[in-house]
Amino acid sequence: MKKILISVAPVAATDILINPRAIAKDVIACSKAGAGMVHLHVRDLNGQLTPDLSLLEETVRYIRSECDIVIQASTGGVSNLTIEERCAPVFADWVEANSLNVGSVNLGDAVYRNPIEEVHYCVEQIIRNHKTPEIEVFEIGMIKTVRDLAERFDFVKPILFSIVLGHIGAAPATVRTLKSMLEAFYEFFPGEGEALWGITHAHRTDFEIMKAALDMGASTVRIGFEDSNYLNPTTQVDSNVPLVEAVADIVKTKGMMPATPAEIRAMLNIHPLKPGVFGR
């Protein structure tokens, strides 16, 4: 039976109050509902991106006190941070995975800048610090960029992609767009076991794109307030748990199962944390 990595991204970019204990409580409940990975940004108390890991570390300590979910920290987000500041969580010994952005793109009124020299720096640090990258691709050309990066850098296999659809100004969330992205994915990564892909749907109001992605062979699905808090077109929720439950139910309905944290670590060849890090 195929196992699906369900990742929860629990904090909306618009949140202006970061409460580590509340975030951890929600993540722990999401883990019980089927999430095997959590995607977190490095934020200050007011929700602004920062290189200061204090609140993120506090959040992870609370999470680790009750569950073994895979910890992924973002190196992205629209901000004025330098690439060195954005990569701060790559150096944390309690982080297992990092998101990796490989190109610039319009996100609404903002320009999400990822110049190639900064991409190279981020890749170098991720590899040097034994983190597992999840490469977020917002446009079809970024898939070719990853192929070029894979020729230059020694990524641990499989390389994990997240196909991100639905952002204003970037690739739209349609089945046709997803098919086009997958044509490029399989063209540039045809080797068995070389790469896996998953879906992230920004501004989501239903689960149709996620269902289509699972039917097309997705190995991962990301859900959570960072992308949308809609359970259906008319219902917004105040906890990430119902969203994770909905995805887990879809996965099971399609004859698959949510992957456990241990299965995810094996699936992605995640480098083991040092003994004793936050109880692991």
Confidence at 274, pLDDT banded by 50, 70, 90: confident
Phi/psi-derived region of residue 220, left when phi > 0, alpha when psi is between -120 and 50, beta in every other case: beta
Q: Report whether pLDDT(177) > 60.
A: yes
Identify the structural domains of the chain with CATH numbers, from first to last: 3-268 (3.20.20.70)
Q: Which helix (H) or strand (E) holds 84?
A: helix 83-86
pLDDT tens digit string along 38-62?
A: 999 999 999 999 999 999 999 999 9
Q: Of 270, 255, 42, which is closest to residue 157 (Cα–Cα)? A: 270
pLDDT mean over 261-271: 98
Confidence at 17, pLDDT banded by 50, 70, 90: confident
